[in-house]
Structure 1
Amino acid sequence: MPEAPSPTRKRIVDAATRLFYAEGIGRVSVDAIAEKAGLTKRTLYYHFRSKDDLITAYLDGRDQPNLKQMAGWFDAAEGTADHKVEAIFANLARVARHPKWKGCGFLRTAAELASMPGHPAVKAGSRHKTSFETWLASELSMHAIDEPQTLAREIVLLMDGAFSIMLVHRNPEYIEAAGHAAATLIRARCQNRA
């Protein structure tokens, strides 16, 4: 079992998370993070070798809570897999209506680091997206849906496409439309089996 982070390290990551999500990683300085955490820059660098390490810790810290939230929405929804997947999208649309919503932190970070594909934070984002896709494929498989891996990938494409277009239009109806499309894909797989 991994060791819990020190309170100081947690305080730094919490401050970085708030700032990175609100403003983007490129716009936030190490000085601003240290100030927000109520620490010196020297203390921050004692816990993190670089800003890149802190960006990676920010995304790693969002991974499991985000996956747990999606799984919770799926589990709480009534009905068959199409309804359960659509519930994830409906809940994302609800969250996106909050004035502080800034989109998917993983996608936004990857976009800012697009010229650095080997960056540890890009790899953290890739791990997160792969974990979600693997989890979803497993759930679809348990619901006896054909080609669960392919279908999970298609649903991830719908989700991330909707995240991207919502950043452009600021309209959560796009994620709702993506949820309807995902449910339609699931129903089509079920009809093809019949």
Structure 2
Amino acid sequence: MPAATTTRQQIVDAADRLFYSQGVANTSFAHVAEAVGISRGNFYHHFRSKDEILDAVIAQRLAGTEAVLAAWQAAGEAPAQRLRFFVHMLIDNQAPIMAHGCPVGSLCAELAKLDHPALGAARGLFALFRDWLSNEFARAGLGREAPGLAMHLLARSQGIAVMAQTFRDPAVIAAEVLLLEAWLAEVLTPAARVRQPPAAA
């Protein structure tokens, strides 16, 4: 049983890499089997269709995203710091972003073009980020504005990823991250000021 579990995980990991680097439509069973080094027969023992593999990849990405958000939550002492973790994800992952775009954005865009039934599940990846960002803006005292600010930050990060991939220039990411940090400071400073206790008489 452990060997079967390991092989299945290897298939999911290989498919995840290939779906990101060359797209779902351009990845076949044969590509994944070759990457893992198993026969087609052994492959079908674990997955009967590419859609089953895609479902497993999306589930793995959802779990990975939840783990990242939990780590940011634990490491950040305040909303501003935790929000910067999200912004700096662009720099931390600039090489793969320049090569293949945002893994979430590229997957959702491709599935939308294909009108694929897995789009709803893949969209859940963006929903995780959106809801987490919204909660952080709310914790910073921005209440009713929080959902809109979260979507704005998510949309800006996606635009940056597209431009970075298009121009293949790390300077694009570096410059845009600085602008995002300035925007965050501007957005968060009034909220922080409101929360300050009144001066003693």
* Residue 38 of structure 1: aligned partner: 37
Aligned identity (percent) is 24
Q: Which residue is 2:108 aligned to?
A: 110
1:133 touches 1:156 (CA, 8 Å); kept in 2?
yes
Q: Deviations over 1:60-95 (max 9, x none)?
A: 2122223432453465356x5334313321242132
Partners of 2:5 and 2:60 in 1: CA distance: 14
CA contact (8 A) 2:140 2:188 kept: no
Change (3 A) 1:63 1:179: farther
TM-score scaled to structure 1, two decimals? 0.79
TM-score (norm: length of structure 2): 0.76
Q: For structure 1, which segment, 66-75 or 10-19, has the greater mean C-alpha deviation from structure 2 after superposition?
A: 66-75
CA deviations 1:128-172 (Å, max 9, x no partner) are 111111122222222322322222122111122222222112232
Instruction: Write the distance in 1 (CA, Å) between the matches of 2:97 and 2:177.
Output: 18
Larger Rg: 2
> Map of 1:141-160 to 2, 5 A cutoff?
141-147=138-144, 148-160=146-158
The one-letter code matched in structure 2 to 1:117 is: D
Cα distance, 1:84–1:40 mapped onto 2, change above 3 Å: same
Q: In structure 2, the residue corresponding to 1:145 is in which secondary structure? A: helix
- 5+ unaligned residues in a row in structure 1: which ranges? none
CA distance in 2, matches of 1:74, 1:91: 14
Q: Which residue of 1 aligns with 2:75?
A: 76
List structure 1 runs of 4+ shifted beyond 6 angstroms. none
Structure 1 residue identity aligned to 2:25? G
**What is the CA RMSD across the aligned residues, in angstroms?**
2.9
Q: Which residue of 1 aligns with 2:199?
A: none
Which structure has more helix as a fraction of its residues?
Answer: 2
Distance 1:181 1:163 in 2: 18
The size of the alignment, in residue pairs, is: 188
| SS across alignment from 1:6 | helix
Mark the CA change 1:133 to 1:100 in structure 2 (over 3 Å): closer, same or farther.
Answer: closer
Query: Unmatched 5+ residue regions in structure 2?
Result: 196-201
